[in-house]
Structure 1
Amino acid sequence: MPQEHIKPDDIAAPIDIRLIPAAALTAAVCFVSPGLPFEWVQRLPWILAGIGVMTILGYICLRHTRRKRVLYGVLVLSIACWVTTPAAVVVQSQRTAAEASGWVNFVSALDTARMSVRLVTDPVEREGPFGNNWFVTAEVEAFGKDLTPTPHPAKIVISGDTSLVDLGAEDQACFFGRVTDNESSVFVQATATIQPGTCADGSAKPSTTGRDTMRATLRAQASRTISYAPELLPGLILGDRSQQSEHVDHAMKVSGLSHLSAVSGAHTSLIASAATILFRSLRLPRSVVIAAFLATLLLFVQIVGMQPSIIRAATMGAIGAWALFFGRGSQALPILALSTIVILTVSPELIHEVGFQLSVAATAGIVLGAQPLEAWFRPLLEKFLPNFWATMLSSSFAISATAQLACQPLLLTFIDYVSAYSLLANLLATPLLPLITVPGTVAAGICVVAPGIAQGILHIVALPTAAVGWIATRVAELPGSMLPWPEGPGGTLLIVLHWAASSIVLLKLLRRQRRSKPAVKIDAPRSRWTGIVITAERGLTAANVVQLVVVLAAVVAHGVVFWPLRPTMVDANWDIVGCDVGQGDMFLVRTGTDSAMVIDTGPDPPLARQCLEAARIRQVDLLVVTHLHADHVGGLQGVVDVATPQEMIYSTGSDPTYDPAATDLPDTARQIDQPVVGIIDHAQDDPEHPVQLRWSILSADSMASNENNASIVLFLEIYRHGGVVTALFTGDLEEDYAGMLLADQRIPAPIDILKLSHHGAKNGGTALIEHTAPTMALIGVGEDNTYGHPHAEILEALGPRIQLRRTDVDGTFAVTFQHSPAFIAMER
């Protein structure tokens, strides 16, 4: 009698991928359809239904074939087409409604209109080159002169002034706005004050819901805690990032921890798991436990809001609970696929939400790769660590690594860098999340009715929250924390290698789980070298060799692109360095071997710090902040981290928006409002790089209503190599004020080097170029910036005679004086 095959306990079950084609086709249809011509969108459901009918007929005709794989493929394709058809019908109806309402034409024309909207998120304040702006995501309910309703998804991102401050999620508002961009998201600039209430009803006070009250109360109670907790607690508990400063928000993104403060699927899983443990500990019937579990999910979604990652996690949890209750399979991959199909069928527009894409990708990576990676990594750690710590560390590593590998290609669609230490940051911070989320949610739930108890809980969870903030800020300050991803074909090839190598390693790990272990191990007397040879002969098949080459190519390519982590050093003989700090200004003027004058700091502390490190600067003799726009002062902390400047000066105008106290400028920083002359002379003490520097402030208008025109205009006379090189740095000075300075004869001429004002913007004018007739012009400007800097008219005014160095093209560059007038050599 033949024995039945019994699967050993140590062999993983096969992965159920039957719903993956259907989920992939549904996602593809929802993603591509909005960009297709309207006629094709109308035909798409019929095309899918037709393919479904043909594949069913093909299945019937081939059902007796011996080629079971072909038959199985035809059946899977048929199921995918039929499952996707409802989503295509919903997309068709939404597109038809959008065409009928005129919304598609309105967005394409970048038009201006009155809009009645309902806010989806709380407004967030962000610093910009021209001051602070408020941003909020909203759903348009009606637009245009006649307030045409929008019975279709019409989500926009609004940028406005302080009139957004008193509004919150779910509030209605009315405003006039202009569409400024509609490539990936529809951005609308409010051209007038945003009024609360609908446009039809006129101005009204913002409504206050129970969730608003809870969030406001939690923010108030969190503000009494310590360290980073006031900024992070509302986000870690309820996904409310409105309290995060620009510095902390940037640190969370650079360290790869921003998902913790967005309330993701991890938060939902923790809350649902804690509730399930509580209900089961009460020995409740199975049906009651499942019902309570679903009720907990529903309540949590209502508290934190309908965020894409929460919707995905809650739907997946509900389907999983249903499957368990009815005794169905509990594999996570088909549940993820089914939940994706259900969500996109109901709301196809979610496929364009970055939060939803990252949530699905991270979950898929964890579901497929975490267990086999943990099973491979844990035995290695058990050789050095106790079993408990080996298990915890290997699990945390596996989850963080697989989620990051799955999400990285998607992250590169909206950021141009890699967080070098995000895996380390997640290993340290993610274990702290349960200590914050579960008790923090309890505190949020009772903060209105029992504020004393809630405050006590928040003080306790403030400790791990502060640790998360500390980890994020420290990691963001490490050298090379932001590694720029290569552009063009090289970057695309690197992404392909990334996916290919990750897939190969994943398949190897999955097959390793499916490989049975021998019941009896026979130790043959052979040398280690013989064992290696035998193993190599068994494994070196053609397929394995190709896979090994791909993985090695991916590793080498990543190493070549991202190693070393420290920034490339500029030429050791530099005299002026233009720092590539993105859309902003930062320049170094040498005053000695390892000392410099720093003119502005750019918007980003890590980039400012990297530039100083690349130039080998250990001493800052003078820091000049030309004015208080964020793209000139935002990176100040990065300078201070390298070397506290011996003297700091700045200028600002009469606009109260630009308050020195709101920046990182210390009390010792001195505001300049009149001409000043100073000298920096290290020549006698520094024979290697003898430099004498005379600096003169030609203008710094504290009464200027325009912050650009309050810029310090700095004239430098650099005594070097037996000659003198003159340079003029103009901040963001605009054309009208430059004309006044020229009329007053306050600008010398000619000048060797001119730093063009306002990143080469048109409003900087050409008068300074014509007057100073420089040998070289410098521009600090971000690559692919949305402002159109530098302007074609400015570049034309420079002409072929004037050498031009710009950070968007040249990156961080060095200017070296050989004699006077300057002879320039540029180093990337």
Structure 2
Amino acid sequence: MVTPDHHIKPDDVAAPIDIRLLPAAALTAIVCLTLPTASMAWVRWLPVVLPILGGVAVLGVALARKASKRRVVNVTLIVAIACWLATPAAFFVQQQRIAAEDSGWLEFVDELGTANISAQLVTAPVKREGPFVPSWYATADVEHYGKDLTATDHPAKIVISGDETWQELTAGTDVCFMGRVSDNESSVFVQAITGAEPGTCFGPDDEHNSTGRDVLRETLRNQSADTLSYAPQLLPGLILGDRSQQTEDVEDAMNVSGLSHLSAVSGAHTSLIAAAATLLFRTLRLPRGVVIAAFMCTLLLFVQIVGMQPSIIRAATMGAIGAWALFFGRGSQALPILALSTIVLLTISPELIHEVGFQLSVAATAGIVLGAQPLDRWLHGFLEKLLPDFWASLLSSSLAVSATAQLACQPILLTFIDYVSPYSLVANLFATPLLPLIMIPGTIAAAICVVAPWLSQVLLHIVSLPAAGIGWIATTAAELPGATLPWPQGPAGTALVVLHWAASLIFVLKLLRFQRRPKPPVKIATATSVWNRVLVASKEHYSFANVFQYAVLAIALVAHVAVFWPVQPSSINTDWDIVGCDVGQGDMYLVRTGPTSAMVIDTGPDGDLATQCLAEANIEQIDVMVITHLHADHVGGVSAVLEEYQPDQILYSTGTDPAHDAESTGIPPEARLVSEPLTGIIDHANEDDDHPVEVRWNVLAANTQASNENNASIVMLVEIYRHGGVVEALYTGDLEEDEATKLIAEGNIPEDIDILKLSHHGAQNGGVEIIEHTAPNMALVGVGEDNTYGHPHDDILDALGPRVAIRRTDVDGTFAVTFEQNQAYVALDR
């Protein structure tokens, strides 16, 4: 009898994954990551200890080779190899650390010093709005610093924040300025005290001259400017990694949608270029040796066009892995090549380990190498039952690559963003196939844009359509409800990251085992019931390890759903500056003035919900209570609040409509009717060492002659002084469009504020002019869940766009906003 095994083809079973170099790559990464901040004793001795440990391990195996088991011998040899391969990186880090100490750079950074700095920009400056004025941020390598312009013959990377004099500079430009170190924890942040002066600090003779690459980039930017839709902003980045043309709105949309990797040169870009060139050379039937040489030359040429920066070299190396595996059909060897490339790159440039781009590239490549093929096979088995084979294969492979890359990168992404993008997988599924349509003709256009501008222009107009498609996908995904889900802070967030890593690893291992399971050549029909087959399968696969693994997967799934599922909050984080109270279809906001005191703006329609919010915020004293107008959804809870609290001051406004009077709504006689501008200061900073804050409030308008009660709303600017800066929040009650337009024309509404409370719960009659005029960074909406008014209106949300963070009580429940030292706004978990 012929057994089924005789009919299994070699291709039916995947080759085993070679992980022998992974320990070496991991150890090298750990050395490069930790040694720069370790004590000098570790720095001096580790490069000596590592090779000795490797030698001792080999010697031990050699002496006990007869008694040792084969598995123990193999593991010991792998450990020895890891120690030896990590030694060069440890030695280079040692030399860099000693050089940094000898030059005085480490002491300068530790003391948050101020000095003249001569640096070369690694990235082009990017504009970021701030609470006062915009700033431009760029990463740079310090070449000389101090009064004597001491050379830094070691890595000295800084992040610069400067004024508008930085906006015209490009990557690779030498710049001289006076800077002050403002932070040195995770990265060295330097605030530019003076404007940027192109050129080194040694004098005008050394000023930066434009290179051929600069001319090429500028020409490509100019030619892309005539293309359609989002293409002028995206094409320079999609082709050459130049994001300088992206507006803040588009850049935020690309980040939120998870598509930012498309507009920065990555392994995908280099693989596409090299693979296209290889396909061309193979079509010409050139010898294999010539093809390989042409492949490498094409890759080197692309790196030269894009720029010889560490991030580009890293992307080219990682991209070459994918192209190499595809060309030789040796996918099983991609992982050891990835590990070896990581070791080589970190040995040559240990500081790469601190670059997020390098970390993401390695993680994404490892995820794809390990999980994409088995996940593709698993998904294809389901999809081929629903779709034609071509579409099933295309969809399964796209999903597999996107999913495995995102699973691997998400824990790293969470180290510098505090949210997840639930739509990024779908956005990548639709956008990533458009990249090859842009990259290959776009790179040709970039190469000839100077010598043949008319042909380059034609190519750029052709690729502008898929580029516009990527822009549309990004902005659409960023504007969808729940486009950013805040990741929990503290121990809960850390535990969720650990669960995510563990579940991802188990999932990949399950996929690899599934891939190595042979397919039976013949499917035998049986009369056994489904229940019996399930029982038999359970007994075959039942083990403690399997049960534990499936339990981890289940716990991770439940934990993710529990964290991100929208639920109503039960308490408020103690570290807050503004609280938006969920009081149903109405407004109530708290502004922190002290440890247990607040300014209250409106009380919503429900007294119980109003007092509950005050209790959850631990409020014992109300300094000022402001009732913007006398509609029930703003004043309904005032009586209940006044039963438990005695505010120091009560302000209110109302119009000429006799249906709304103070007495019937519970406003006490001592309350003050506001009919003109008014200013007050609340300063309890000395009473709160942990959270000192000073509040200055200004009533900008209150039209008590308005026949429309909405237009009688108090319009108030609240200035919150904290961290040595000020954050401006504008509260508008239910102000309607006509009154808002009038106040703007009279100059009563400030421009460029930080936080805007949307008028009339985001209703359409609030208008968009006040949004455009104030240009807020964050919008607050008090609105009831499933309300029948259609609040907030789509036109209002569209006017805010993806750049503006939105906090709304129907989605977030009672939310808290905290001002960090960099004036960023973070909605904390309740």
CA 1:758/1:562 → structure 2, altered by over 3 Å: closer, same or farther?
A: closer
Query: Does 2:764 correspond to 1:729?
Result: no
The CA deviation string for residues 516-552 of structure 1, in whole angstroms up to 9 with x for no partner, is 2334433222222222222222223222211111111
Native 8 Å contact 2:224 2:460 kept in 1: yes
CA 1:726/1:424 → structure 2, altered by over 3 Å: closer, same or farther?
A: closer
Q: Report the alpha carbon displacement of residue 320 of structure 1 after superposing the two structures with TM.
A: 7.7
Native 8 Å contact 1:697 1:712 kept in 2: no
The letter for the 2-side match of 1:572 is G
**Distance in 2 between residues matched to 1:328 and 1:394, nearest whole Å:** 21
Aligned twin of 2:820: 785
CA 1:788/1:483 → structure 2, altered by over 3 Å: closer, same or farther?
A: closer
**Distance in 2 between residues matched to 1:220 and 1:683, nearest whole Å:** 62
**Distance in 2 between residues matched to 1:680 and 1:346, nearest whole Å:** 77
CA 1:411/1:117 → structure 2, altered by over 3 Å: closer, same or farther?
A: same
CA 1:372/1:314 → structure 2, altered by over 3 Å: closer, same or farther?
A: same
CA 1:242/1:313 → structure 2, altered by over 3 Å: closer, same or farther?
A: closer
The letter for the 1-side match of 2:460 is L
Native 8 Å contact 1:733 1:758 kept in 2: no
Query: Does 2:36 correspond to 1:34?
Result: yes
Q: Report the alpha carbon displacement of residue 123 of structure 1 after superposing the two structures with TM.
A: 1.6
Report the secondary structure of 1:259's partner residue. helix
CA 1:327/1:444 → structure 2, altered by over 3 Å: closer, same or farther?
A: closer
Native 8 Å contact 1:679 1:695 kept in 2: no
Q: Report the alpha carbon displacement of residue 66 of structure 1 after superposing the two structures with TM.
A: 5.1
Query: Does 2:216 correspond to 1:214?
Result: yes
Report the secondary structure of 1:125's partner residue. strand
**Distance in 1 between residues matched to 2:494 and 2:270, nearest whole Å:** 34
Report the secondary structure of 1:385's partner residue. coil
Query: Does 2:557 correspond to 1:570?
Result: no
**Distance in 1 between residues matched to 2:492 and 2:169, nearest whole Å:** 45
Aligned twin of 1:767: none
Aligned twin of 1:426: 428
Report the secondary structure of 1:15's partner residue. coil
**Distance in 2 between residues matched to 1:579 and 1:386, nearest whole Å:** 59
Aligned twin of 2:488: 486
Report the secondary structure of 2:177's partner residue. strand
Aligned twin of 2:56: 54
**Distance in 1 between residues matched to 2:146 and 2:492, nearest whole Å:** 45
Native 8 Å contact 1:483 1:565 kept in 2: no
Native 8 Å contact 2:271 2:323 kept in 1: no
Native 8 Å contact 2:127 2:135 kept in 1: yes
CA 1:591/1:30 → structure 2, altered by over 3 Å: closer, same or farther?
A: closer
TM-score calculated relative to the size of structure 2: 0.72
CA 1:538/1:258 → structure 2, altered by over 3 Å: closer, same or farther?
A: same
CA 1:689/1:491 → structure 2, altered by over 3 Å: closer, same or farther?
A: farther
Q: How does 1:168-207 map to 2 (within 5 A)?
A: 168-202=170-204, 205-207=207-209
Query: Does 2:507 correspond to 1:511?
Result: no
The CA deviation string for residues 352-400 of structure 1, in whole angstroms up to 9 with x for no partner, is 0000000000100000000000100012111111111111111110011
Q: Report the alpha carbon displacement of residue 465 of structure 1 after superposing the two structures with TM.
A: 0.9
Aligned twin of 1:87: 89
CA 1:781/1:498 → structure 2, altered by over 3 Å: closer, same or farther?
A: closer
CA 1:810/1:304 → structure 2, altered by over 3 Å: closer, same or farther?
A: closer
Aligned twin of 2:383: 381
**Distance in 1 between residues matched to 2:88 and 2:409, nearest whole Å:** 28
CA 1:529/1:223 → structure 2, altered by over 3 Å: closer, same or farther?
A: same
TM-score calculated relative to the size of structure 1: 0.73
Which of 527, 544, 547 is residue 525 of structure 1 equivalent to? 527
Native 8 Å contact 2:818 2:828 kept in 1: no
**Distance in 2 between residues matched to 1:153 and 1:189, nearest whole Å:** 19
The sequence identity of aligned pairs, in percent, is 59
**Distance in 1 between residues matched to 2:590 and 2:468, nearest whole Å:** 36
CA 1:32/1:129 → structure 2, altered by over 3 Å: closer, same or farther?
A: same
The CA deviation string for residues 179-203 of structure 1, in whole angstroms up to 9 with x for no partner, is 0111111111111122111111247
Native 8 Å contact 1:578 1:780 kept in 2: no
Aligned twin of 1:150: 152
CA 1:313/1:518 → structure 2, altered by over 3 Å: closer, same or farther?
A: same
**Distance in 2 between residues matched to 1:439 and 1:304, nearest whole Å:** 15
Q: Report the alpha carbon displacement of residue 508 of structure 1 after superposing the two structures with TM.
A: 1.0
Query: Does 2:114 correspond to 1:76?
Result: no
Q: Report the alpha carbon displacement of residue 73 of structure 1 after superposing the two structures with TM.
A: 0.5
Native 8 Å contact 2:699 2:717 kept in 1: yes
CA 1:44/1:734 → structure 2, altered by over 3 Å: closer, same or farther?
A: closer
**Distance in 1 between residues matched to 2:385 and 2:407, nearest whole Å:** 26
Which of 437, 440, 443 is residue 439 of structure 2 equivalent to? 437
Q: Report the alpha carbon displacement of residue 26 of structure 1 after superposing the two structures with TM.
A: 0.4
CA 1:683/1:427 → structure 2, altered by over 3 Å: closer, same or farther?
A: farther
The letter for the 2-side match of 1:576 is M
Q: Report the alpha carbon displacement of residue 79 of structure 1 after superposing the two structures with TM.
A: 0.5
Aligned twin of 1:12: 14
Q: Report the alpha carbon displacement of residue 713 of structure 1 after superposing the two structures with TM.
A: 3.8
CA RMSD of the aligned region, Å? 4.0
| Range with bigger deviation, 156-165 or 39-48 | 156-165
**Distance in 2 between residues matched to 1:295 and 1:695, nearest whole Å:** 75
Q: Report the alpha carbon displacement of residue 212 of structure 1 after superposing the two structures with TM.
A: 0.8
Q: How does 1:624-635 map to 2 (within 5 A)?
A: none
Report the secondary structure of 2:62's partner residue. helix
Aligned twin of 2:785: none
Aligned twin of 1:293: 295
The CA deviation string for residues 549-568 of structure 1, in whole angstroms up to 9 with x for no partner, is 11111111111001139999
Report the secondary structure of 1:188's partner residue. strand
Q: How does 1:154-553 map to 2 (within 5 A)?
A: 154-202=156-204, 205-316=207-318, 331-553=333-555
The letter for the 2-side match of 1:149 is A
Aligned twin of 1:641: none
| Range with bigger deviation, 526-535 or 708-717 | 708-717
Native 8 Å contact 1:446 1:454 kept in 2: yes
**Distance in 2 between residues matched to 1:400 and 1:146, nearest whole Å:** 51
Native 8 Å contact 1:320 1:335 kept in 2: no
Q: Report the alpha carbon displacement of residue 25 of structure 1 after superposing the two structures with TM.
A: 0.5
Structure 2's unaligned 5+ residue stretches are 571-580, 593-598, 607-630, 635-652, 680-693, 727-752, 756-813
**Distance in 1 between residues matched to 2:439 and 2:387, nearest whole Å:** 28
Aligned twin of 1:101: 103
The letter for the 2-side match of 1:521 is K
**Distance in 2 between residues matched to 1:430 and 1:234, nearest whole Å:** 17
CA 1:70/1:681 → structure 2, altered by over 3 Å: closer, same or farther?
A: farther
**Distance in 2 between residues matched to 1:378 and 1:425, nearest whole Å:** 20
Native 8 Å contact 1:697 1:715 kept in 2: yes
Aligned twin of 1:748: none
Which of 136, 140, 145 is residue 138 of structure 2 equivalent to? 136
CA 1:683/1:27 → structure 2, altered by over 3 Å: closer, same or farther?
A: farther
**Distance in 2 between residues matched to 1:576 and 1:430, nearest whole Å:** 44
Which of 9, 21, 24 is residue 22 of structure 1 equivalent to? 24
Aligned twin of 2:682: none
**Distance in 1 between residues matched to 2:100 and 2:33, nearest whole Å:** 16
The letter for the 2-side match of 1:353 is E
Report the secondary structure of 1:300's partner residue. helix
Structure 1's unaligned 5+ residue stretches are 581-585, 594-618, 623-676, 701-707, 739-756, 760-778, 790-806, 812-827
Q: Report the alpha carbon displacement of residue 42 of structure 1 after superposing the two structures with TM.
A: 0.9
Native 8 Å contact 1:591 1:681 kept in 2: no
Report the secondary structure of 2:719's partner residue. coil
**Distance in 2 between residues matched to 1:575 and 1:351, nearest whole Å:** 48
Native 8 Å contact 2:160 2:191 kept in 1: yes
**Distance in 2 between residues matched to 1:510 and 1:411, nearest whole Å:** 25
Q: Report the alpha carbon displacement of residue 451 of structure 1 after superposing the two structures with TM.
A: 1.1
Q: Report the alpha carbon displacement of residue 132 of structure 1 after superposing the two structures with TM.
A: 1.2
